[in-house]
């Protein structure tokens, strides 16, 4: 009886403690309004803001965490811009870079003095739990947005949390709290309509740990460091793709690689044809989602796009068929870039035997001007030798090490099987 009484007492106390620990948005705001700042990129000449985001105190109290894309402009033009923070009471100061995690869109900045109490970090709460995003939307002042945790998105290599709440421009880099007031992630992007994305706090914790040795040289050419990080991430991604078991996908006479990773989604992309069309065409387009923000000019790299196209006709003669086939075989990398950003493409042509069929294959590469070792790669391969059947693969990868893409192209070709 005494035991039951004690147990009941403990449960009640636990329940009470749990209720006491659960904070509402008002309380979280009040607790953290001195620890969340506006992070600004300012022009050295005019002293005016060029871009804004949010940040919050971490580490020893002199460090601010934010998104890489908030301060990316400084990496491109360090002589023109610098980073500063401004607090609730107008307290401001210059920040220097202490570490970058470009792949996960994080930056660690340091002030020359302690600026407040660091915010404690924690793991992700259960799916559906309330979470709270703080930041400075549209330069209108500090605010807090309430939403729920949608869980880790597996289509982005576990680097994004789905936040069913509203993030707005200017809130990037701000903290996302659980209901105990601990940071579980960093605001990073939105797809509007209350669909937003958060970077899990574990990547920030890793960045803080990596930066503890002080080896990061903020005065060096950081574009080299950005390129190194992007290439390391992309190489690791490609290696992971190569290790994966690729499911099959049947497209008429070809058996092809399906979604080669959970980060890839495949969609039917077949164009609707008029009733009088004398041919049939089928198109499947697969793309990944874990793109990496590079800078204002390049936007995102790390795209993997592959497309299969099948064309057939019983009614067109060979000349008509090939005229149509040739007109359709002209895929390009869609992003238009300037000469200041990328080189010209260099292309070469081969006739490659794949599963007893001959494919006219073109491989093109172009390099990034500012980011050493980074390339965009375009591979196309069109079936030849059939008068009434056409097929081509297009494979596009952006911001990658050219050499690292060749094993992936090889695996694509080896995995493609002609089924007469």
Partner 1 sequence: MAALILEISTRGLHRYQQINEEITTVGRALDNDIILSDPTVAPHHLKIIRHGDDSLEIVNLTDVNPTRVDHQKLASLVTRDLPVCLEIGRIEARILPRNFAVAATRPLAGRDRRGHLFGHASWSVALVLACLLVSGLDFYLGSYTSFKWGDLFKIVLRETVLTIGAFVLVLAVLERLLVNRWEIRQLVTSVCLVYLCHYLAANAADGLDYLFSASWPTTLFQFGWYLVVIPAAIALYLVNISHLKPGRSAILALLISSPIAVPAIMQSPALYALLDDFSSTARYHNNLSPFNLHLGQTVTIDRFIAQAQNLEAGEFAD
Using CA atoms, how far apart are residues 78 and 86, in angstroms rounded to an integer?
Answer: 20
* 356 lies in the site for partner 1, by CB under 8 A: no
Using CA atoms, how far apart are residues 8 and 358, in angstroms rounded to an integer?
Answer: 77
Enumerate residues 6+ apart whose C-beta is below 8 A from 10: none
Q: Whose structure tokens read 């979604």?
A: 259
Residue 244 CB, nearest distance to partner 1 (Å)?
19
- Of positions 354, 393, 395, 404, contacts partner 1 by CB under 8 A: 354
* Nearest to partner 1 of 176, 313 (CB atom): 313
Using CA atoms, how far apart are residues 123 and 41, in angstroms rounded to an integer?
Answer: 30
Q: To 10 degrees, what angle do helices 68-76 and 222-243 make?
A: 130
* 28 lies in the site for partner 1, by CB under 8 A: no
Residue 407 CB, nearest distance to partner 1 (Å)?
8
Residue 402 CB, nearest distance to partner 1 (Å)?
8
What are the helix (H) ranges across 41-99?
Answer: 68-76
User: What six digits make up the tokens of 187?
Assistant: 């605001």
* 128 lies in the site for partner 1, by CB under 8 A: no
Residue 327 CB, nearest distance to partner 1 (Å)?
9
Closest to 53 (Cα-Cα) out of 62, 72, 66? 66
- Of positions 167, 333, 395, 397, contacts partner 1 by CB under 8 A: 333
Site residues for partner 1, 255-274, by CB under 8 A, read 274
Q: To 10 degrees, what angle do helices 222-243 and 402-415 make?
A: 20
* Nearest to partner 1 of 167, 378 (CB atom): 378
User: What six digits make up the tokens of 298?
Assistant: 């390049």
- Of positions 375, 393, 395, 401, contacts partner 1 by CB under 8 A: 375
The sign of the CA dihedral 337, 339, 341, 346 is positive
* Nearest to partner 1 of 140, 275 (CB atom): 275
* 398 lies in the site for partner 1, by CB under 8 A: no
> Contact letters (x/-) for partner 1, 69-108, by CB under 8 A?
----------------------------------------
Q: Integer distance in angstroms from the first to the last C-alpha of the chain?
A: 79
Contact positions vs partner 1 (CB under 8 A): 274, 276-279, 316, 318-326, 329-330, 332-333, 335-339, 342-354, 358, 360-367, 369, 375, 378, 380, 382, 384-385, 387, 390, 402-403, 406-407, 409-410, 413-414
């Amino acid at each position: 009886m005494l035991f039951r009484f004690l147990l009941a007492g403990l449960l009640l106390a636990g329940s009470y403690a749990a209720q006491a620990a659960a904070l509402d948005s008002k309380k979280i705001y009040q607790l953290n309004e001195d620890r969340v700042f506006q992070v600004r990129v300012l022009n050295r000449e005019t002293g005016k803001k060029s871009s804004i985001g949010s940040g919050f105190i971490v580490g020893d109290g002199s460090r601010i965490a934010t998104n890489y894309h908030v301060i990316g402009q400084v990496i491109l033009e360090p002589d023109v811009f610098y980073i500063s923070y401004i607090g609730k009471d107008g307290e401001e100061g210059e920040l220097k870079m202490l570490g970058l995690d470009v792949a996960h869109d994080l930056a660690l900045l340091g002030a020359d003095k302690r600026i407040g109490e660091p915010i404690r970090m924690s793991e992700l709460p259960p799916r559906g739990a309330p979470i709270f995003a703080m930041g400075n939307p549209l330069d209108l002042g500090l605010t807090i947005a309430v939403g729920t945790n949608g869980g880790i998105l597996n289509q982005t290599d576990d680097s994004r949390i789905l936040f069913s709440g509203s993030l707005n421009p200017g809130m990037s880099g701000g903290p996302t709290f659980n209901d105990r007031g601990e940071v579980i992630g960093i605001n990073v992007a939105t797809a509007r309509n209350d669909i937003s994305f958060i970077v899990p706090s574990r990547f920030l914790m890793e960045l803080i740990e990596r930066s503890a040795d002080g080896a990061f040289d903020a005065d060096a050419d950081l574009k080299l460091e950005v390129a190194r990080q992007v290439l390391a991430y992309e190489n690791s991604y490609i290696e992971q793709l190569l290790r994966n078991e690729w499911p099959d996908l049947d497209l008429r006479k070809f058996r092809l690689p399906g979604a080669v990773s959970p980060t890839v989604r495949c969609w039917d992309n077949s164009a609707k044809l008029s009733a009088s069309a004398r041919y049939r065409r089928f198109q499947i387009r697969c793309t990944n989602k874990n793109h990496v923000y590079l800078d204002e000019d390049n936007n995102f790299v790390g795209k993997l796009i592959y497309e299969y196209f099948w064309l057939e006709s019983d009614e067109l003669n060979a000349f008509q068929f090939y005229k149509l086939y040739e007109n359709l075989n002209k895929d390009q990398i869609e992003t238009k870039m300037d000469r200041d950003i990328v080189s010209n493409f260099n292309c070469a042509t081969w006739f490659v035997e794949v599963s007893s069929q001959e494919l006219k294959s073109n491989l093109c590469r172009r390099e990034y001007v500012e980011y050493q070792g980074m390339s965009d790669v375009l591979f196309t391969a069109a079936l030849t030798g059939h008068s009434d059947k056409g097929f081509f693969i297009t494979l596009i990868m952006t911001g990658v090490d050219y050499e690292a893409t060749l094993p992936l192209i090889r695996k694509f070709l080896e995995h493609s099987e002609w089924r007469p």
